Amino acid sequence: MATFSLVDNNPSMDKLTSEIFSILENKFLFGYDHNVTPTKDQVSVPIDDMKLHKHMSGKVRVLSIDGGGATDGVFAATSIVHLESSLRRCSGIPDARIADFFDVVTGSGVGGVLAALLFTRGKDGEPLFTADEALRFVVENGHKLSRVGKQGVFRRILGNSSKNGKVFRKMFGDLTLKDTIKAVLIPCYDLTTGAPFVFSRADAVEMEGCDFKMSDVCAATTAVSGPIDTVSVDRRTRISAVTGELATNNPTAMAITHILNNKQEFPFCNGVDDLLVVSLGNGEPSCGVAGNQTPSRAAMLKIVGETVSDTVDQAISMAFGQSRASNYGRIQGNKGFIDSENLNKGKGTNILKLAEHMLRQKNVESVLFQGKKCNKTNLDKLEFFATEIVKETERRKLNILPTVVLRQTTTSSSPRTSSATTLSITSSN
């Protein structure tokens, strides 16, 4: 692979390089308790912040969306609607989209479908779906995408095997992972290799064999009764996919691992202090059974998935340490207050009311080996993180170094020789 250079034959990068050396020079000269202080004209970030080594690059903003859960995607979709509304209000941009405020999105199962709907670019350059439209989609289809039935989920939704993917193909057409607006990560489980497989925009841009149609990605991550034969656009990669809820129902850890190990796109992200994560659960399922009755296989799948999700949440919360209150937010419905009778009705207004009810519950913070703590409500926490995300967006206007350097697709029809040829210095706003 060719060596990647940020400055070769790039006038804009010559200017950036000059600014970088200028900031380093100022830090060297004025970063100590000397009497000499630089003027405002000498630096492009606030002097006090420079002394504290702040705002050098910024925090990577991550949105993570769980698989089905108790509300089959409706709770997460409702959370996104409220989050988008708060972001619009805090930023003063009435038509802003959720994709405008995040650098990375990851979703599993129906959460992966939400990620695809909200972060895939349409013909007008805007995301295909608004948050409200995505909510309507999961209200109508979420229970079909997340539950195992006697006939199999795709037979019920899409008819026979020759029509598999019809609904998703209608929504996405020929759009692929390369057509996503920000970094996208959507997992499934590959029965061929016996290991998780992650559909990644970064991989799709770098390697043709990793580019898949978005309709196939959504079919793979929601293949509850799979497997679904999934083939890359160039036909070189073939996987036998089943639901991403098996691979990683809570994909937050996967996203963090990707960011910390992807220095080409996130060159200055070195730890949790450089992250701002909003993780959306989908409501812990009520899987209790009477007496000694054995849970069904579907109930066991839900129990395992949510148990793993909760463990991931606790581990990540501990990893963030003292910064978890400001850098990591988990929004999850409270199992103890779910109305099973209303939940089993599971359609339309009842599910929406249940999701709204869970958003108004006390937010539960999981602390490994210390149990759970109830804080302010889920809505309050969404509002808090919307404010923090907008602050981060504003801080980037003062940053010298780019927080995110997204790989860009080539406009030429000739084959790419390496990932370096497709990189462009585009800092996410």
Query: Which residues does the annotation mark as catalytic?
Result: 108
Overall size of the chain counted in residues: 429
The answer for 48, left when phi > 0, alpha when psi is -120 to 50, beta otherwise, is alpha
Residues whose CB is less than 8 angstroms from the CB of residue 24 and which lie 6 or more positions away in sequence, other chains included: none
Those residues whose C-beta lies under 8 Å from the C-beta of residue 16, and which sit 6 or more positions away, are 6, 7, 400, 402, 425
Angle of helix 74-91 relative to helix 110-119, nearest 10 degrees, comes to 30
The residue with tokens 């450089």 is 274
**Positive/negative CA dihedral, 288, 290, 295, 296:** negative
Inter-CA distances, 176 with 126, 155, 230, 354, 402, Å: 15, 24, 13, 34, 26
Question: Where are any strands of DSSP class E within 169-283?
Answer: 183-190, 195-200, 228-231, 238-242, 275-280
Encoding tokens for residue 176? 């692929």
User: What six digits make up the tokens of 210?
Assistant: 């990793």
CA neighbor of 347 nearest in space, from 111, 142, 114? 142
Helices and strands per DSSP (H, E), number in the chain: 16, 12
And the tokens for 344?
């089993």
What are φ and ψ of residue 9, in 5° steps? 50, 40
Sign of CA dihedral 157, 162, 168, 171: negative
- Nearest Cα residue to 314 out of 276, 366, 251: 366
What angle is formed at CA 248 by the lines to CA 206 and CA 290, rounded to 5 degrees? 160
